[in-house]
């Protein structure tokens, strides 16, 4: 069962491109509730393109795409929302529901660092930044206190905060690197041919279907080189995939 779109208070009194983002958000939500999914999609995309890249907007966009039977786009939107609101249970449920509908059963294995720093998937980059900034303030405050008060409890508290400060700083750095180097992309059409080269005449190696998450290597003259494993690699038209990374263009 799909949950309703997020409709809580999202925005401070800020305007993007002369529009009221809160009003636009609720109008898109209303269109979704009334079954006008394409109108809702257009509303959410306008918000995102005007600079409102919030997890709730991407989440609602994913819901609208799923209702409009655009599975690949829905998974792309959910994955972007997950970068911003990684602990949202409704988002995780809907993403899991969408993944269950994909035809290509491909694993999502994490690397060694993601296994070691397992908590990275539970915190957004912004949350880790503020955690590091807060611990940094406490650490230097305690260090200053230590200069004037040589008590034992200050010494041990300083050691605890130093350890937490190091872990938070390393976590923030790794999360930044993980997001900056995120090469994942989502297949958008119902079915696409993966070819041996960047040309329509090249041999079809295999097919992939909407919603499949692949790794994007590079783009060349309107074609993208992708791989799903060491043995499954090939070229696909650039507009057939959408990169999950936040700085990547929004698919039309």
Residue 152 has pLDDT above 60, yes or no: yes
Structure confidence at residue 9 (pLDDT): 41
State pLDDT tens for residues 159-181: 888 888 888 888 888 878 877 78
For the chain, the C-alpha Rg in angstroms (whole number) is: 22
Higher pLDDT among residues 1 and 28, named by residue = 28
Q: Is 2 helix (H, G, I), strand (E, B) or coil?
A: coil
Distances (CA, A) of 26 to 40, 88, 168, 221, 232: 10, 20, 36, 40, 43
Read off the DSSP letter of residue 87: T
In CATH, the number for domain 21-99 is 1.25.40.10
Residue 150 has pLDDT above 80, yes or no: no
Q: What share of the chain in percent tops pLDDT 70? A: 88
State pLDDT tens for residues 125-143: 888 899 889 988 888 888 8
Residue 95: pLDDT band by 50, 70, 90 thresholds?
Answer: very high
Higher pLDDT among residues 146 and 233, named by residue = 233
Query: What's the average model confidence in pLDDT over 234-244?
Result: 95
State pLDDT tens for residues 32-87: 999 999 999 999 999 999 988 899 999 999 999 999 999 999 999 999 999 999 99
Provide the sign of the torsion angle of the four alpha carbons 71, 188, 213, 179, taken in this order. negative
Structure confidence at residue 69 (pLDDT): 96
DSSP for 30-75, written as a single string: HHHHTT-HHHHHHHHHHHHHTT---HHHHHHHHHHHHHTT-HHHHH
Output the CA angle 80-81-86, nearest 5 degrees: 115
In CATH, the number for domain 184-243 is 2.30.30.40
Structure confidence at residue 105 (pLDDT): 66
Residue 11: pLDDT band by 50, 70, 90 thresholds?
Answer: very low
CA distance 124 to 104: 28
Read off the DSSP letter of residue 196: S
Given a contact cutoff of 8 angstroms between Cβ atoms, the answer to whether 63 and 83 are in contact is no
Distances (CA, A) of 15 to 21, 47, 62, 191, 229: 6, 11, 24, 40, 44
Structure confidence at residue 252 (pLDDT): 72
Mean of all residue pLDDT scores within the chain:
86
Sequence-separated (6 or more) residues with CB below 8 Å from residue 82: 55, 88, 91, 92, 95
Structure token digits, residue 109 = 């294995």
Closest CA to 73 of 107, 36, 37, 24: 37
Query: What's the average model confidence in pLDDT over 78-99?
Result: 94
Cα dihedral: 236, 237, 238, 241 (round 10): -60
Residue 211 has pLDDT above 80, yes or no: yes
């Amino acid at each position: 069962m799909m949950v309703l779109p997020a409709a809580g208070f999202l925005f401070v009194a800020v305007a993007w491109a002369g529009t009221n983002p809160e009003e636009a958000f609720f109008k898109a939500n209303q269109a979704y509730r009334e079954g006008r999914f394409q109108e809702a999609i257009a509303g959410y995309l306008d918000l995102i393109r005007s600079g409102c890249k919030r997890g709730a907007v991407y989440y609602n966009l994913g819901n609208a795409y799923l209702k409009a039977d655009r599975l690949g786009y829905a998974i792309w939107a959910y994955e972007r929302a997950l970068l911003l609101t990684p602990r949202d249970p409704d988002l995780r449920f809907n993403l899991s529901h969408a993944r269950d509908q994909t035809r290509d059963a491909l694993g999502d294995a994490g690397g060694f660092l993601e296994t070691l720093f397992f908590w990275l998937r539970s915190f957004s980059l912004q949350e880790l930044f503020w955690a590091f900034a807060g611990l940094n303030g406490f650490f230097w405050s305690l260090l200053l206190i230590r200069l004037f008060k040589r008590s034992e409890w200050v010494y041990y508290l300083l050691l605890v905060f130093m350890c937490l400060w190091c872990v938070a700083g390393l976590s923030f750095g790794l999360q930044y690197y993980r997001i900056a180097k995120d090469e994942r992309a989502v297949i958008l059409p119902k079915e696409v041919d993966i070819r041996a080269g960047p040309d329509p005449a090249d041999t079809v190696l295999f097919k992939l279907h909407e919603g499949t998450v692949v790794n994007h290597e590079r783009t060349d003259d309107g074609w993208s080189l992708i791989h799903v494993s060491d043995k499954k690699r090939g070229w696909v038209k650039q507009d057939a995939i959408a990169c999950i990374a936040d700085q990547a263009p929004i698919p039309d």
